A and B are shown apart, each in its own frame.
Chain A
Amino acid sequence: MPLDASFVGRTWPAETYEVSLEKIREFATAVGADDPVHHDRDAARAAGHPDVVAPTTFPVVFTWPATKRVVDDPALGLDFSRVIHRDQAVELHRPLHAGDVVTTVVAVDDVRELAGNDVVTFRCDVTDADGEAVLTTTATLVGRAGGDDA
């Protein structure tokens, strides 16, 4: 079943996420990021940050669930059990730190068919409580052919 191309350009209602010290510590530990600025508030402040700083790829903690909500929309037509994560990008406009309350808006940037596979690019624009841009992520997912139609 071809994907619904009318999804291109659509956005979904914003989701809010509160970045916490403990979640940053947990994520940093999981990726082996042992620098004190990820774990110790005093060390982070000594380095000029208001609180512990998130590792570069931390935003996936909230951008992926926000994206998954769209992926799971039956109207889009992606079969998640056949989805492969093909590309990912993250661009930080400023460091993300504990205490940030961020809002994620998901948009579908592109929908296409490539060699029978469905290819969808999702963009997440993340802003802080003041409405300032914090970061942008893009993820391209491929729904492998051979599911329902095989």
Chain B
Amino acid sequence: MSVLADAAEGDALEPRTATITRADLVRYAGASGDLNPIHWNERVATEVGLPGVIAHGMFTMALAARYVADLAGDPTAVVAFSTRFTRPVVVPDDDTGATVELGGKVTGVADDGTRTVSVTATHDGKGVLGKAVATVRVG
């Protein structure tokens, strides 16, 4: 059984800290095909008014989806995920990278056991994903 299969409505999920480095962004750019230079080129990022190189929103979303899948104990359990990208995650040019705090709460349990999970992701204490909701098939 998994953490999520046992979770009831209102239960908070164990938080996790994810780290994002420049190398992660380069690897994700190649794997996803999203080569927008704001995700790997400081000069271009600052030219368009960003504080620096920022993570792909889709990368943060992927980390959040994996966090929920891990709690479900099944890599195929997250059958839907929707989110708003509310703030960028600025990733510094160092070996440490940026940290994103992931958390979640079960907001619904359907008759067939499907869980609805409200997911939070914060960076520097501010939310980077808004209205993030995962639909999780468990059991």
Chain A residues engaging chain B, CB cutoff 8 angstroms:
23, 26-27, 29-33, 35, 37-38, 49, 53, 55-57, 60-61, 64-65, 81-82, 84-92, 95, 138
Assuming A29-B31, A30-B28, A31-B63, is B78 touching A87 (CB within 8 A)?
A: no
Chain B's closest residue to A36 (CB) is B75
Of the candidates A29, A57, A86, A95, which one forms a contact with B81 in the assembled complex, judged by CB atoms under 8 Å apart?
A57
B119 within 8 A of A: no
Taking the nearest CB of chain A, how far is it from the CB of B67, in angstroms? Answer: 10
Q: Which residues from B are CB-within-8-Å of A65?
A: 33
B34 touches A88 (CB 8 A): no
Taking the nearest CB of chain A, how far is it from the CB of B123, in angstroms? Answer: 16
Assuming A29-B27, A60-B58, is B66 touching A91 (CB within 8 A)?
A: no
B118-137 near A? 1/0 per residue, CB < 8 Å: 00000000000000000100
Chain A's closest residue to B26 (CB) is A30
- Bound Cα distance from A53 to B74, whole angstroms: 11
- Bound Cα distance from A95 to B80, whole angstroms: 11
Q: Which residues from A are CB-within-8-Å of B58?
A: 57, 60, 85, 88
Given A33-B69, A56-B69, A90-B80, 16 extra CB contacts under 8 A: A29-B27, A30-B28, A33-B62, A37-B75, A55-B65, A55-B66, A57-B58, A60-B34, A60-B58, A61-B31, A64-B32, A85-B57, A87-B85, A88-B82, A89-B80, A95-B76
- Bound Cα distance from A86 to B84, whole angstroms: 6
Chain B residues engaging chain A, CB cutoff 8 angstroms:
24, 27-28, 30-34, 48, 57-59, 61-63, 65-66, 69, 75-76, 78-85, 135
Q: Which residues from B are CB-within-8-Å of A35?
A: 75
Assuming A29-B27, A35-B75, A61-B32, is B62 touching A55 (CB within 8 A)?
A: yes
Assuming A85-B57, A85-B85, A88-B57, is B75 touching A53 (CB within 8 A)?
A: yes
A contact face: mostly helix, strand, loop, or mixed: mixed
- Bound Cα distance from A87 to B130, whole angstroms: 9
B63 touches A32 (CB 8 A): yes
Taking the nearest CB of chain A, how far is it from the CB of B19, in angstroms? Answer: 10
